[in-house]
Copies of this chain bind each other. A is one copy, B any other.
């Protein structure tokens, strides 16, 4: 029964793959890369660790697959921004990003990255790559402002801090805030990072 599906695996294989990927996301996001063993992921997926190795190879390769989003985050952001007026943009952007990243698969991907980034060089690079290089930098460039790298990195730092405080440290009242409320508080900050002269408050 070969030839079903793009990789020619037997039927049922893609179901198992998806189950393993979602188990991997769950375990990586709850425990971080280091503590997440293949055994724990196998137990969570209800399969044998050997099957995971068969499908994905090493833990590092499994991690890479697990943090792959089913869409291009840069494209999504750029197309959102293209239709927007500048006034109040920060708040709408923040709400859009939060509603995307705090739900479904993206939430697991983001938490897996943030939980792992503090100890794993690979995950550190993945944070930079996914959040800044692929998502924020193309979006900031699309706004036509100078110094796009610095602006994208500052928005990335805002986002990393917010997600860690909200979902990992679970610091109140931020942990329980609605997305709308958070977006209102953070919107002007996004606009500052996007549009203001970041050197304006010159010292001396």
Q: Which residues of A contact B (CB under 8 A)?
A: 31-32, 34-35, 88, 90-92, 95, 114-119, 124, 127-128, 132, 149-150, 153-154, 156-162, 164-166, 168-174, 177, 180-181, 183-189, 192-193, 196, 198-203
Return A168 CB to nearest CB of chain B, in Å: 6
A183 vs B174: C-alpha distance in the bound complex, in angstroms? Answer: 24
> What distance in Å separates the Cβ of A170 from its nearest Cβ neighbour in chain B?
7
| Ranked 4 nearest A-B pairs via Cβ | A161-B161, A157-B165, A185-B198, A157-B161
Are the CB atoms of B117 and A168 closer together than 8 Å? Answer: yes
Each complex incorporates copies of this chain amounting to 2
A161 to chain B: closest residue by CB = B161
Say whether B91 contacts A169, CB under 8 Å: no
In Å, the complex CA distance between A153 and B199 comes to 25
**Known contacts A32-B118, A115-B118, A192-B192: A91-B201 contact under CB 8 Å:** yes
Beyond A164-B160, A203-B184, whether A117 also contacts B169 by CB under 8 A is: yes
Residue in A150, A166, A183 with the greatest tally of chain B CB atoms within 10 Å: A150
